[in-house]
Amino acid sequence: MAVSKDKIYNIAGYAGSSYYLNRWGSGSVSNHQNVTLYSKTPDPDQQWYMKSVSGGYQILSMLNKAYGLNIYPPQSNNCDLYPVSGNANDATVVLQAVSGKTNVYRIKLANYDLYLTAASNSSGANVYWAASNNATSQQWKFTEVTTTAPVEQLYVSNRCKPSSA
């Protein structure tokens, strides 16, 4: 089963581990909000809408579909959320099948030779864009979401906030 446009997905790192692409934080989405891996929840922080655009897709946050995965150059190659309108250069991706049958893909920026990469296979691990390494840290399993959690759940959940020491 292939990934399709106009559908909502959970995206698991490491070719299907128990950690999912996640918007880090709580409340409303904001510019340059970080993207990490996190243990699976039903929250919209982990739900991603596949929007078909010229040259590929934009992977949009279900918290606010005006925001999508983005590269933040030149300071770093971090993956964050940023408004996609007028930002096609830094927000358009192409999917490269590792195993289309199991919905495992590499996510490549269309305008850069960089791939979505997890720093480690652990909860809270950072996600960034890096050169191809053919490792599972650059393999992402897409699972279609058949029901979505209400956005209101986001405002009562503090699970994404970093703990204070």
Q: What is the C-alpha to C-alpha distance for residues 34 and 126, in angstroms, rounded to an integer?
A: 8
Tell me the whole-structure pTM to 2 decimals: 0.87
Name the β-bridge partners of 79: 71
At residue 20, φ and ψ (nearest 5 deg) are -120, 150
Task: Tell me if 38 sits within 8 A of 20, measured CB to CB.
Answer: yes
Per-residue pLDDT tens over the stretch 101-126: 889 999 999 999 999 999 999 999 99
Sign of CA dihedral 72, 43, 95, 130: positive
Task: Tell me if 10 sits within 8 A of 141, measured CB to CB.
Answer: no
* pLDDT score of 143: 95
Strand, coil or helix: 21: strand
Q: What is the C-alpha to C-alpha distance for residues 78 and 96, in angstroms, rounded to an integer?
A: 20
* pLDDT score of 70: 96
Per-residue pLDDT tens over the stretch 55-99: 999 999 999 999 999 998 766 899 999 999 999 999 999 999 998
Strand, coil or helix: 31: coil
Per-residue pLDDT tens over the stretch 22-53: 999 999 999 999 999 999 999 999 999 999 99
